[in-house]
Amino acid sequence: MNERVDFRSDTTTLPSDGMRRAMADAEVGDAVYDEDPTTNRLEAMTAELLGMEAGLFFPSATQANLGGIMAHCGRGDEYIVGQLAHAYRDEGGGAAVLGSIQPQPLPNDPDGIIALDAITSAIKPDDFHNPVTRLLTLENTYNGLPLPEDYMRDATELARSHGLATHLDGARMMNAAVGTGCEPSEISGRFDSVTLCLSKGLGAPVGAVFAGPKDLVDRAKRLRKMLGGGMRQTGVIAAAGIYALEHNVSRMREDHDRADRLSEIFRDCPELGAGEARTNMVFLTPDGVDMKEFTSFLAERGIITGGGHGKLRWVTHLDIDDEAIERVRRACKEFFGR
């Protein structure tokens, strides 16, 4: 009966026919010798888009963040990071395990901000007892929320005034750019380096780009090799990234509109505790609703959602159309009997 509509994540998108054609037609060479023209093009166009000198294609944003953090920090150095940030909590502890880099996690406010005074007091003095604090890492979007522009300005200026480098985990920063109406480079340009994920809302099946100054990117390239991310005829997958950047950025507005509509639908059912849409995400904190019963009811109607810690997360993306939103509306009406 129902085709499944999957709201768990924008990572579930399947490559479109046009993207698959671009992949099939990609001109390729050995990327480890820098001879893959499609990968070189993706790296150059991403660097330009993000206002950086150079770009480097990685298999995943996790590896791009790790290679980037390791390019900034040496063994025994320290990076400051939100304690709910992906680059601290959701990457297997890579910086500590593989990079011997000590994380200094700090609390994230609900809007993703790390308080400036917390950053200041976490920066270690120049004292042989202490690790050397090298890097501040921020995340944008954070649970779908774009970081406020003045916060990014103040936090990066603060870091710089203490001699720290700055890295943006911008896995979903295209959603932030589209959501706030600013140029991507206005976001990433405040940072020394940035990671952009191609396989979230951009809809590519695989890949990420790390971008920054040329000497830093060269260091990251050696580290990528060490981490096993030096790949060969990557044009086949880089072509999907190029296609994504050319076709799937401005259309993110549709995802954000649909997230708005989802949030309205949910707010008709106050028990669901719906928050406002945050770019392409909506969070529910249900109260007095049996979550398991609700999600099973939805699943029977082909609607898949995810979550945890008492919350349900709904993510809109390329494979969620208007009909999928209407299906959610009907299911909620039926479930709550109104």
Ligand X SMILES: *Cc1c(COP(=O)(O)O)cnc(C)c1O
What's the CA gap between 168 and 206, in Å, rounded? 20
The answer to whether 62 contacts ligand X (rule: CB under 6 A) is yes
Q: Are 134 and 77 in contact (CB under 8 A)?
A: yes
Q: How far is CA 128 from CA 124, 183, 192, in A?
A: 10, 42, 27
What is the smallest separation between the CB atom of 176 and ligand X, expressed in angstroms?
Answer: 11
CB of 227 to ligand X, least distance (A): 12
Whichever of 10 and 272 has its CB closer to ligand X, that residue is: 10
Chain positions 292 to 331 lying near ligand X, rule: CB under 6 A, are none
Closest CA to 58 of 67, 71, 48: 67
Segment 147 to 176, residues that bind ligand X, using CB under 6 A? 169, 171-172
134 vs 200, which CB is nearer to ligand X? 200
Q: How far is the CB of 337 from ligand X (least distance, A)?
A: 36
Q: Which is nearer to ligand X, 166 or 199 (CB)?
A: 199
Which two tokens mark 166?
Answer: 């700055």
Nearer to ligand X (CB atom), residue 60 or residue 166? 60
Q: Which two tokens stand for residue 146?
A: 């774009």
Q: In terms of CB distance, is 202 or 332 closer to ligand X?
A: 202
| Cα–Cα distance measured from residue 38 to residue 241, given in angstroms and rounded to the nearest whole number | 10
Q: Of 61 and 220, which has the nearer Cβ to ligand X?
A: 61
304: which residues sit within 8 A by CB, 6+ positions away?
4, 5, 6, 7, 8, 298
Binding residue (CB under 6 A) for ligand X from 197, 227, 245, 332: 197
Q: How far is Cα 189 from Cα 204, in angstroms, rounded to an integer?
A: 24
Q: Which is nearer to ligand X, 65 or 104 (CB)?
A: 65
- The closest of 183, 187, 121 to 156, measured between CA atoms, is 187
Most distant CA pair in the chain, distance: 67
The answer to whether the Cα torsion of 27, 246, 146, 164 is positive or negative is positive
To the nearest whole angstrom, how small is the minimum distance from the Cβ of residue 91 to ligand X?
Answer: 7
User: What are the Cα distances from residue 109, in Å, to 115, 152, 313?
Assistant: 8, 14, 19
* Cβ 34 to ligand X shortest distance, Å: 23
Give the contact letters, 28-57, x = binds to ligand X (CB under 6 A), - = no: ------------------------------
The vertex-78 CA angle with 75 and 79, nearest 5°, equals 125
- Cα-atom radius of gyration of the chain, to the nearest Å? 21
* Binding flags for ligand X, 117-146, as an x/- string (CB under 6 A): ----------------------x-------
Question: Which residue in the set 28, 164, 208, 236 belongs to the binding site for ligand X (CB under 6 A)?
Answer: 208
Backbone φ and ψ of 182, nearest 5°: -105, 165
260-299: contacts with ligand X (CB under 6 A): none
Structure tokens at 162: 């203490």
One residue of 42, 61, 152, 231 binding ligand X per CB under 6 A: 61
**DSSP code of 105?**
E
State which H helix or E strand residue 319 sits in: none
Instruction: Choose between 6 and 139: whose C-beta lies nearer to ligand X.
Output: 139
Query: In the complex, what is the shortest distance from the CB of residue 199 to ligand X, in angstroms, rounded to a whole number?
Result: 5
Q: Which of residues 77-96 bind ligand X (CB under 6 A)?
A: 86
The CA-CA-CA angle for residues 150, 45, 149, to 5°, reads 5
Number of residues that bind ligand X (CB under 6 A): 13
Nearest distance, CB of residue 273 and ligand X, angstroms: 23
Instruction: Name which of residues 213 to 242 contact ligand X (CB under 6 A).
Output: none
> Given the rule CB under 6 A, which residues bind ligand X?
60-62, 65, 86, 139, 169, 171-172, 197, 199-200, 208
